[in-house]
Chain A
């Protein structure tokens, strides 16, 4: 039996597979040896006698003091390669085993825009503007302020816009309608405000930088009341949510679980098997018919009932005439009640006008009341402590006046990126079948 193993064919198509399946340790070892030799010299066994030994015939000459002029030294220095570039030169004389390496090209090797432009112009043979000139021109373009022209009366009736023609608006609308180009006039709510509230609400006198004691106290009281309300709400929420559930210890939980899970495992011996006969929970329904007698009686009963009702009605009519006063009182009572309800409703509508409308799922939340704490009131303009942000104030005011819908700023979450290394940059080829340890 010959133990000649068939050579496994492997793909060497890509760089990665090439690296994976070709064992180059011998080449690497050889090169490493060469480098070592370069550093330490030939091994002693290979060296000749002349190289190893030296016949000392003359006395050692004194080391000459090499004196060069400063300029010479400078010149030498200038000509020599600077030390900082030493990293760029190859550190070994051992030749590269590959005669020709492929030049790796990155995808976009962008050139600075200006240089590119200049090169293009050079090719064209046109006059090249100086770099500075281009830069200044660009700066000028950027810094040039947009000047908006307001020098005309927007509300002048006599002025005609370019797009306005000699026909008036109604005619235009009419003709366009005929050509099924419908024009909508400005909706009425664009011209009116969506809320009756003023844009700038009068400030609370306690918000003065140097307030009256009483005003300031009032403001503080309002703040405290608001805070108390919030705290109460919080307490309530705590009580009806997490406070509602009783807590159990871990042991209790486990025993409960055991009891629950073992339900029905042990058979409960039922004692009352008296008859051994089947009994359903719901007895079967029987459609019992009435007999003639019963039917007659039912009919008669209905009839008498009806008659009685009629009689009662008749009697009511008679008595009502005598009870006019009472009825009048009742009517008065009723009308008073409706009046009250009406006035309440009017009040409610009035109140609702001042309240923000419900425009989105989010409810409008009022802005916090701004106030200076007593220790922050300095009493002079120089040391005034500013409170509140006008931007927030305006934003909330827009929300309150139904111009914006109540919303919170949406924070976009950035999507997660899946990262992977390019095939050429992978390190896993080091560890292969041929080279299980992964060391080069």
Chain B
């Protein structure tokens, strides 16, 4: 008796993989549902080591899934829900086609929803795991929060996105976790550090909703968002509790301005204030944050690294209180949300025009405002007590982790380039050119400061002194005045100078030379097809002109001969 022959691909790599079509058959799901399930559960297609074996000898490139993954999906209770949903939608469709709208509405009221809570726990066993995968989540949620109501996708997904992202921003503000910001043409890049995990995300520019183009499957992306929303909700809960905040966020009535309390809908009022990002949330307990002290190690263990780490820690500490005590007022043309977010992250106070958005705390005529952020060349009414700067100043300050001199960012000034903080530090100046601005940004002490910047710093000093100068002695006042006058003179000489003009001499040959050059260039543009013709034409011309010249010369010589002959006669 011969042993039963082993069939091909029943073990090893051939049995380990399954095609998408096979998976659909095995799970008894439609492609649409399968895609959704895979995205929700975090199952992705795989690339086999040996494709020929994995595809059981079939040619072509097929999308393959691991058998284990599919078996894992098979036991998922969501599958039953998906199958129920299929039946449900058939019923709805039926009632719609026979125009039983009452029945349809009755059904739609009981629209089944997938419960994804346990999937979050399953895919991210710990809180830190969830934080590590937050980049995609935040980027997509911030993007979806800007969308209007779209076909087939209800408004509530977008509103939920908006709510959760605002909550997250509040948490970042409270944790003072912002590290880097960057304005690119695509959108705003933010980087925060929570629990030692750096999270980066992109927020689109204001009013940037573009109707979707054909190349992205919107349904797939909205499935991603469907899961990410749940994840972000739980992350927010955890984050709020670690910061001693109430979740869902609460605003205390003390914080609210008095005249606002008369609004009718209290819930709407609160949610609007929260969306304004300008008021701090209620705390569960007033616990003082512990300052992280870097451990001191014996000196022999890589003191350079220690130095660097200390420097970094110092920088972070600086960023956290960068705008402490400063008061900002936003003009209506600047992007409000991003500026409020980053200024509040660094401890500053912000307000804006009352009619622009709810939640402004002080008016423009407040004399204690230190900076007004404007993005237009001229402003009619200006206060002496504050700087009028362009919004880039705020972003650059955070990236440089210090308050940069304001003079380069005044309104109407041409701004210095906005450099990206997202460059790898391994780049060194020997192998690659680094612009001096960037060098300065990284390490301000290394580059000797230029003269004019020093001057301007002095001016700033003088100005600040001047404000508090009334209490000081007269003699001091006099010297100060002198100083001030000199400084002012310096600025004026530097900025606006009238010099006697000089008459510009024209080179007589210049024009001719230029014409000739242009002519030669034009000659070069002659097509290859006509080049020979052109050349022969030009040669003919030259020849003819030469003949003419020769004849003229002969004539001239002859004439002269005749003349001399006459004279001799």
Contacts and interface: CB of A to CB of B under 8 A. Distances in A.
A204 B419 CA distance: 10
A432 interface: no
A390 B225 CA distance: 14
B247 interface: yes
Contact of B72 (A186, A204, A381): A186
Contacts of B139: 199-200, 390, 394
A167 interface: no
Given A389-B213, A402-B44, A203 B182 contact: yes
Interface string B418-453: 111011100000000101011000000000000000
B508 interface: no
A261 interface: no
Contact of A200 (B68, B200, B237): B200
A141 interface: yes
B121 A155 contact: yes
B237 A212 contact: no
B261 interface: no
A209 B126 contact: no
A260 interface: no
Contacts of A117: 102
| Residue with the greatest number of chain A CB neighbours at <10 A, chosen from B124, B186, B217 | B186
Interface string A328-369: 000000000000000000000000000001111100000000
A408 to B, nearest CB: 7
Nearest to A392: B216
B210 A389 contact: yes
Given A394-B136, A409-B217, A381 B183 contact: yes
B213 A209 contact: no
B257 interface: no
B99 A207 contact: no
Interface in B121-143: 121-127, 129-130, 133, 135-136, 139-140, 143
B121 A408 contact: no
Contacts of A145: 156, 159
Interface in B7-66: 41-47, 60-64, 66
A155 B185 contact: no
A212 B419 contact: yes
Contacts of B182: 203, 208
Contact of A151 (B205, B237, B424, B433): B237
Contacts of B44: 189, 194, 402-404
Given A208-B183, A370-B185, A391-B212, A189 B418 contact: no
A187 interface: yes
Nearest to A359: B45
A203 B213 contact: no
A138 to B, nearest CB: 7
Given A186-B72, A191-B125, A200-B135, A150 B221 contact: no
Contacts of A269: none
B185 A209 contact: yes
Interface residues of A, number: 77
A386 B205 contact: yes
Contacts of A391: 143, 212, 216, 218, 221
A233 B49 CA distance: 30
A392 B213 contact: yes
Given A212-B417, A214-B435, A386 B186 contact: yes
A205 B139 CA distance: 20
Contact of A186 (B122, B229, B233): B122
A400 to B, nearest CB: 12
A21 B508 CA distance: 105
B214 A409 contact: yes
Nearest to B183: A209
A403 B101 CA distance: 40
A209 B74 CA distance: 49
B212 A208 contact: no
Contact of A184 (B72, B123, B127, B435): B72
B106 to A, nearest CB: 10
A389 B147 CA distance: 13
Given A151-B247, A152-B237, A361-B60, A388 B216 contact: no
A390 to B, nearest CB: 5
Contacts of B217: 395, 407, 409
A381 B391 contact: yes
B40 to A, nearest CB: 11
Interface in B81-118: 98-99, 101-102, 105, 109, 113, 117-118
Contact of A202 (B233, B419, B422): B422
A342 B238 CA distance: 48
Contact of A358 (B47, B202, B375): B47
A275 interface: no
Interface in A378-410: 379-382, 384-395, 397-398, 402-405, 407-409
A398 B143 CA distance: 16
The interface residues of chain A, by DSSP majority, are classed as: loop
Nearest to B143: A390
Contacts, number: 237
A185 B68 CA distance: 9
A155 B113 CA distance: 22
A108 B98 CA distance: 9
A387 B423 CA distance: 21
A358 B61 CA distance: 8
B185 A357 contact: no
B149 interface: no
Given A200-B135, A358-B61, A394-B143, A379 B414 contact: yes
Nearest to B232: A150
A146 interface: yes
B71 interface: yes
A387 B186 CA distance: 5
A207 B61 CA distance: 36
A260 B233 CA distance: 77
Contact of A370 (B101, B113, B186): B186
B42 A207 contact: no
B250 interface: no
A193 B43 CA distance: 10
A280 interface: no
Contact of B419 (A208, A370, A407): A208
A187 B375 contact: no
Interface in B213-241: 213-218, 220-221, 224, 229-230, 233-234, 236-238, 241
Nearest to B375: A382
Contacts of A371: 185
A191 to B, nearest CB: 7
Interface string A205-221: 10111111111000000
Contacts of B99: 108, 110
Contacts of A202: 420, 422-424
B545 interface: no
B370 interface: no
A202 B202 CA distance: 11
A190 interface: yes
Given A108-B99, A200-B200, A215-B420, 4 more contacts: A151-B247, A194-B44, A357-B47, A398-B224
Interface of A: 108, 110, 113, 117, 138, 141, 145-146, 148, 150-155, 161, 182-187, 189-191, 193-194, 198-200, 202-205, 207-215, 357-361, 370-372, 379-382, 384-395, 397-398, 402-405, 407-409, 411
A-B CB proximity, top 7 nearest: A150-B233, A199-B135, A202-B422, A205-B420, A357-B47, A154-B234, A212-B417
Interface of B: 41-47, 60-64, 66, 68-69, 71-72, 74-75, 98-99, 101-102, 105, 109, 113, 117-118, 120-127, 129-130, 133, 135-136, 139-140, 143, 156, 159-160, 182-187, 189, 200-202, 204-205, 208, 210, 212-218, 220-221, 224, 229-230, 233-234, 236-238, 241, 247-248, 333-335, 375-376, 390-392, 414-415, 417-420, 422-424, 433, 435, 437-438
13 contacts: A153-B241, A154-B234, A185-B72, A200-B189, A203-B420, A204-B420, A208-B420, A213-B417, A359-B64, A382-B376, A395-B217, A398-B224, A402-B44
